Chains A and B, each alone.
Chain A
Amino acid sequence: AQSVAQPEDQVNVAEGNPLTVKCTYSVSGNPYLFWYVQYPNRGLQFLLKYITGDNLVKGSYGFEAEFNKSQTSFHLKKPSALVSDSALYFCAVRDAGYSTLTFGKGTMLLVSP
């Protein structure tokens, strides 16, 4: 089975401060890991993915994520938050033996001016 957990329903950060949105996963094989962002009444937009290789993955809009196999985590990070980063963020995982993605429940990021 594959599963993913986003332990925080909401993360609050001041503009200009670094942000972290947490994600942990469980798979039986090698994971494919993804981060998506959703703005109100819109579909999900792909931010970045980890398939193999370097544990630090860089993506769109200055976001990056670090794959940590021992802690089964894939936290999303950004060095300096913008108010426009305020949105709903989803982590997703696919076990190498599965055909579909499993999404976390989402974390609302609120960046205050």
Chain B
Amino acid sequence: DGGITQSPKYLFRKEGQNVTLSCEQNLNHDAMYWYRQDPGQGLRLIYYSQIVNDFQKGDIAEGYSVSREKKESFPLTVTSAQKNPTAFYLCASTESPDRGQPQHFGDGTRLSIL
């Protein structure tokens, strides 16, 4: 089955530590996105990429970094500069945002502070 796989499902970060969240898709989608979800705040865009080797900051990029070396992979690193990283992180992809195609979502990674 085609879809988006996020791993791990749960992740714990120690103070001063960087952690990387994995997002892999086998839908052959060009565009990929990372969102942060906090209770009562909806989804906020962290980073997005519309093509391999290119990505753009979203609304809340500070303290995060990404790479897009392969079409199917878009990992997110939560750096130690992100002082409040506890949240539910969602990865999404879409074939063609310009044609109004919907985004497909993974099942998320829940990040907590130890």
Contacts and interface: CB of A to CB of B under 8 A. Distances in A.
Interface of A: 9, 32, 34, 36, 41-46, 49, 51, 90, 94, 99-101, 103-106
B108 A49 contact: no
Contacts of A100: 33, 45, 48, 58, 97
Contacts of A32: 100
B104 interface: yes
B43 interface: yes
Secondary structure at the B interface, as helix, strand, loop or mixed, is strand
Interface of B: 4, 6, 33, 35, 40-43, 45, 48, 50, 56, 58, 90, 92, 97, 100, 102-108, 110
Contact of A106 (B42, B58, B103): B42
23 contacts: A32-B100, A34-B102, A36-B105, A42-B108, A43-B4, A43-B90, A43-B92, A43-B105, A43-B107, A43-B108, A44-B43, A44-B103, A45-B105, A94-B100, A99-B48, A99-B56, A100-B48, A100-B97, A101-B103, A103-B43, A104-B42, A105-B41, A106-B42
Contacts of B104: 46
Contacts of A41: 107-108, 110
Contacts of A103: 35, 42-43
A46 B41 contact: no
Contacts of B35: 103
A41 B89 CA distance: 11
Given A99-B50, A100-B58, A46 B107 contact: no
